[in-house]
Structures are given as C-alpha cells and as structure tokens.
Structure 1
Amino acid sequence: MSGRVTRFEQSATQGPTTVDRIHADEFDDALADVLEGPAVGAPLPFEGVSLPQDVTRNPTPRELRNARIGVTPVGPAVADLGSVVVRSGAEGAEQISLYPDTHVAVLAASDIQPTIADAITEIGARVASGLTSAVLATGPSGTGDMGSVVYGAHGPSSVHVIVLEDR
C-alpha cells in the first residue's frame, strides 16, 4: 500500500495540489496548519478523526459562499492520476468541496486504488451499496481560455489532501 500512497502523492503534486501523509493522531495539527478564515465541513468517517468546533457543519448557502476552507472525506482515489472521488449526499460534501477557495480532502490510505479501472470497480461496489452520485476531481479546476492558466474558475483555487496512513 505504501507504493500506492507514494504514487498518489507524486501524481497529485504534479499540479497545484499539496499532500500531507499523517497518522490519525496527527490530524488536528495537520488540519490546523491549513485552516484559515471561515471553514465548513462534512462529517469525517475515519476512526480517531473529527472536525474541530470552529468548522461549521451543515452549512447554509451563505456560510458556503463565505467559507475560505471546505473539509470533506474523499475516496476512493486513483494513484496513477492523483484524483479523488467526492461523494454526493445529504451531508453536502460535494458542495463543501466546490464553493470554498480551498478544498481540504481527507483520504484513508487504504482507499487509494492503483488505476482508474480499480477505482471504477470500487465506485461500482459503493453504487451497489447506495451511492447515487460522485465527482472525480484532480486538483483545482483550471482554465487557460484567456492565456495563462487560472485556477478556481469552476471550484476551489487550491486543493490540499490529507492522507491518513495506518500505523
């Protein structure tokens, strides 16, 4: 699995995405390092990890518009592409990942799949268990329509992935 995490990190950081590899007991400090301004978040389903009190859960549309940081769980991920899957659902992870300037994606190392084919197989299994919608994201959105590439035209301008490694 360590090879998958390394490959994911290499692929993701080829663009303007940053990746931290940590253990669950280091999560609070790692998140504090990237939190600034108003933050919104979706529940994190990882053992030993939770959102701090100053991160708004179940944000209103106004709170989403005003948020600088959005924290969501993601997975599976694709090592070869540095992509993550943001699942849609009642908890609002998709909106929370798109509206704020920075998306902080929290990913279990065990959810990193080697290839897109492997990730599609995993997504298929989740669809069979009730998943109805998801977005495959590879870093912040970018456009070069006006010359040089501009990030954040259709989503966050920066993405920070926190990979939770097993001990």
Structure 2
Amino acid sequence: MSHTSTESVRERFRDRLRDFDVESTVVPPDEVAATIERIASSPAVGVEPDDASYDFPDAVQTEFSPSDLEAAATGVTPATLGISDYGSVVVPTTESGVEPVSLFADQHVAVLEADDIVPGMDDGLAEIGERSRRSGFSGVIATGPSATADMGALVKGAHGPKTVHVVVVDP
C-alpha cells in the first residue's frame, strides 16, 4: 500500500476524474439524494446498494423494465472502489443488473464512498481479489465516458455513457 495520505489520494482521484472530463461532487450521506436529483437527467433508473449510508431520490426508478432502461437518460449506480491514479471506478456486477444501468444511458452517475478510494491499480486489484475470494465479487473497472477512435476521430458515447459524474460520499 502506498504511503500517501488519505486526503491526497482523494484529491488525486478527483484530479484524474477531471483529466477524463468526469465531474465529481463530494457530499455527506444526507445530501446524496438531493445531489443526484440535481445532476441526473430524467428519466433516471438506478440500482441502489444493499448496505449504503445514503438513499437515492424518488426520481430515480429502482424498479424498472427493459424499456424503462432503454428510455433512461441517466443510470445511477453504486461504485464499490475508486482507483486514484487512474480516475477509475469499479462498478459491481450483480444479479440486479448494475452493469447495463451504468452503460446504456447517456449519463452515468456513480456513487462512491470516500473510504473506498485507493491510491493505485495494484491496491485496487488487491482489494478486488480479496473481495472476490471472500464473496465471489466481480466488477467492471470504468474510466471516464465511453470513447472510441476506431473509425478515425474520437467519438464519445459510442459504446456507453457520453458523460459521467461521480458522487463521493464523505461523512
């Protein structure tokens, strides 16, 4: 593990998010719902984590059909890990379908507990490995909006969200 202070790891994470045109907001748990409501475009769908210190606003549908998902402008998901050096978030794969919610809408809002930000990829992979051994955890590492240059010029949102916003929950 790196000998970097917790505060500098969190600052580095937000700096790297900005490098990838990802906005971030730091809020206490009781302001998460209002923050999501302010930044999410409607209609919004989401998958709430089981054991979070925060709630989603009523405007985010947590029970939705495939057609609701297809029509959603925003997908709101938990992120279980942030990797500071890369500005990446780890979105868990779940039976409730977190991955499509994070990928189908033009906007992805990821909600991450500040204590779950680690300095580097080695730390992130070690944590993912430990969680996997303990509980069968699996997740997707996402860095910034979807982008491709397969056909020439860089195109954002070709295979996923055009914009990403990370809400960091810091008590």
TM-score, scaled to structure 1: 0.93
Q: Do the aligned partners of residues 29 and 53 (structure 1) sit closer, same or farther apart at CA in structure 2, a change above 3 Å counting?
A: closer
For residues 33-112 of structure 1, what are the structure 2 equivalents within 5 Å?
33-44=38-49, 45-47=51-53, 49-112=54-117
Q: Within 2, Cα distance between the matches of 1:131 and 1:12?
A: 28
**From 6, 22, 30, the counterpart of 1:17:** 22
**1:132 to partner: Cα distance:** 4.4
* Matching residue's letter, 2:133: A
* Matching residue's letter, 1:2: E
Q: Do the aligned partners of residues 125 and 58 (structure 1) sit closer, same or farther apart at CA in structure 2, a change above 3 Å counting?
A: farther
- Counterpart in the other structure of 1:28: 33
State the identity %. Answer: 38
Equivalent pair of 1:86/1:93 in contact (CA under 8 Å): yes
* Matching residue's letter, 1:101: D
* Structure 2: unaligned runs, 5 residues or longer: 1-5
**From 129, 143, 157, the counterpart of 2:134:** 129
**1:31 to partner: Cα distance:** 1.0
Q: Within 2, Cα distance between the matches of 1:22 and 1:63?
A: 28
**1:73 to partner: Cα distance:** 0.4
TM-score, scaled to structure 2: 0.91
Instruction: Provide, for residues 26-84 of structure 1, a one-character-per-residue CA deviation record: whole Å limited to 9, x for no partner.
Output: 2122112112211100013321x111222111322111110001110002110000001
